[in-house]
């Protein structure tokens, strides 16, 4: 397990001065943020602001060029510099990744597996957990997200909302210390979107540690403990949702909220 897990004051994820470039394009320009234990942090901002890149760097799916990432106070070990910087300890990366579960925009379910098999796959094959115990938990999590009757169905036989709920059950079955959501509702039509938002709200009410990249300002306002507004690779403004949405300070945030306000 990760160090300092028992200390509630230690953030699950802490990012300090993170820079990320794709060649000459600098996407993150020195971002610092924390994901405190039991808190929901939402990342908002226009397309290209760096929010999804920040999430992928936090999960070590992308390599950053500068700055520190800590999990439960444990810093990532790096080797190399700049565009050649990579995590230096593969065992550390694996250990951390198994404690962070990511839910993607496009579900990423295995089409040749049933929903139950999809949810069970990583705990059994990656973590080596007992298959019978994992199946019991997988069925419980599928019940939790409202699709317990879909265990033997294949992804193509389900709606987008049901597939995304299956992806959330899959993330939960890893029993992670934090859930990371990358635009979890943006591929869904409004009716199916509400199914998924309802599940995410229920998880927030349980006090789970979550970072959510979202275009849904209403959801961000409803469930977040802290909202971060990214603009051109930097944090333009951040704070409690009541303050950030009700009394934005920066002109750029005011413009963004005006453009994204529901009709």
Give the domain-ending residue among 130, 146, 175.
Answer: 175
41 shares its domain with 132? no
Mean pLDDT, to the nearest integer, of 150-178? 95
Sequential DSSP letters for the chain: --TTTT-TTS-SEEEEEEEEEETTEEEEEEEEEEE-TT-EEEEE-STTSSHHHHHHHHTTSS--SEEEEEETTEEPPEES-GGG-EES-HHHHHHHHTTEEEE-TT----TTS-HHHHHHHHHHHTT---HHHHHHHHHHHHHHTT-GGGTT--GGGS-HHHHHHHHHHHHHHT--SEEEEESTTTTS-HHHHHHHHHHHHHHHHTT--EEEE-S-HHHHHHH-SEEEEEETTEEEEEE-HHHHHHS--SHHHHHHHHHHS--
Residue 135 lies in a domain: yes
Residue 108 lies in a domain: no
**Given pLDDT bands bounded at 50, 70 and 90, which one contains residue 251?**
very high
Query: Please, are residues 156 and 111 in contact by the beta-carbon 8 Å criterion?
Result: yes
Mean pLDDT of all residues belonging to the chain: 93
62 shares its domain with 124? no
**Given pLDDT bands bounded at 50, 70 and 90, which one contains residue 41?**
very high
223 shares its domain with 167? no
Residue 4 has pLDDT above 80, yes or no: no
Residue 10 pLDDT: 92
93 shares its domain with 125? no
Give the domain-ending residue among 132, 159, 175.
Answer: 175
Residue 31 has pLDDT above 90, yes or no: yes
Burial of 14: CB neighbours in 10 Å, binned 0-12, 13-18, 19+: buried
Residue 5 pLDDT: 54
Give the domain-ending residue among 175, 207, 225.
Answer: 175
Residue 113 pLDDT: 97
Residue 260 has pLDDT above 90, yes or no: no
Cα R_g (the chain), whole angstroms:
18
13 shares its domain with 122? no
**Given pLDDT bands bounded at 50, 70 and 90, which one contains residue 2?**
very low
Residue 104 lies in a domain: no
How far from each other are the two terminal CA atoms of the chain, in whole angstroms? 46
What distance in Å separates the CA atoms of residue 167 and residue 227, rounded to the nearest whole number?
Answer: 24
Containing structural domain, residue 144:
113-175
Q: What is the CATH number of the domain that holds 19?
A: 3.40.50.300
Q: What is the pLDDT of residues 58-104, one digit of tens each?
A: 999 999 999 999 999 999 999 999 999 999 999 999 999 999 999 99
Q: What is the pLDDT of residues 184-242, one digit of tens each?
A: 998 888 888 999 999 999 999 999 999 999 999 999 999 999 999 999 999 999 999 99
Residue 124 pLDDT: 95
């Amino acid at each position: 397990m990760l160090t300092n897990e028992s200390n509630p004051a230690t953030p699950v994820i802490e990012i300090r001065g993170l820079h990320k470039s794709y060649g000459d394009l600098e996407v993150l320009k020195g971002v610092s943020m924390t994901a405190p234990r039991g808190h929901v942090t939402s990342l908002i901002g226009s397309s290209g602001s760096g929010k999804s890149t920040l999430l992928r760097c936090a999960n070590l799916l992308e390599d950053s060029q500068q700055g520190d990432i800590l999990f439960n106070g444990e810093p990532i070990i790096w080797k190399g510099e700049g565009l050649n910087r990579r995590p230096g300890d593969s065992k550390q990366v694996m250990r951390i990744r198994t404690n962070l579960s990511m839910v993607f925009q496009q579900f990423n379910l295995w089409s040749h597996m049933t929903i139950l098999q999809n949810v069970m796959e990583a705990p059994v094959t990656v973590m080596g957990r007992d298959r019978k115990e994992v199946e019991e938990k997988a069925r419980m999590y599928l019940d939790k997200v409202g699709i317990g009757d879909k265990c033997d169905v294949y992804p193509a036989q389900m709606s987008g909302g049901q597939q995304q709920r299956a992806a959330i059950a899959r993330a939960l079955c890893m029993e992670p210390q934090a859930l990371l959501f990358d635009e979890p509702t943006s591929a869904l039509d409004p009716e199916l979107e509400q199914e998924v938002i309802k599940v995410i709200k229920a998880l927030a009410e349980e006090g789970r540690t979550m970072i959510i990249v979202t275009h849904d300002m209403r959801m961000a306002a409803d469930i977040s403990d802290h909202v971060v507004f990214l603009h051109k690779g930097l944090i333009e403004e951040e704070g409690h949702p009541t303050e950030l949405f009700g009394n934005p300070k920066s002109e750029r945030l005011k413009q963004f909220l005006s453009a994204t306000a529901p009709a």
